Structure 1
Amino acid sequence: MASAEALINAFTTILVTVDPPGLAPLFLGLTQGMSRAQRRQVAVRGSMIAFAILALFAVFGAGVLGLLGISMGAFRIAGGVMLFYIAFEMIFEKRQERKEKTTDNAITKDHIHNLAVFPLALPLIAGPGAISATILLAGAMPGAVERGQLIGVIAVCLGLVFAALVIADRLDRLLGMTGRAILTRLLGVLLAALSVQFVVDGVKSAFA
Structure 2
Amino acid sequence: MNHVNEKFAAYQRATVRFWSDQGDSDKLKQVGRQWIEEFSHTADEIASTLHLDKLKANIEWQGRGAETYKAAVPAQLEHLDSMKDLGEQMRDSLTSLANGIDSFWLAMKVIAGGLVAAIVSAILTAVTVVGLPLALGILSAAISMAVPAITGTIVAIETLLDVSETEQNSIQAKVDDLGDQWERTNTTTMSHSGDWRVN
Q: State whether TM-score is above 0.5.
A: no
Larger radius of gyration: 2
Q: Which has the higher contact order (CA 8 A, sep 6+)?
A: 1
TM bin, normalised by shorter chain, reads under 0.3
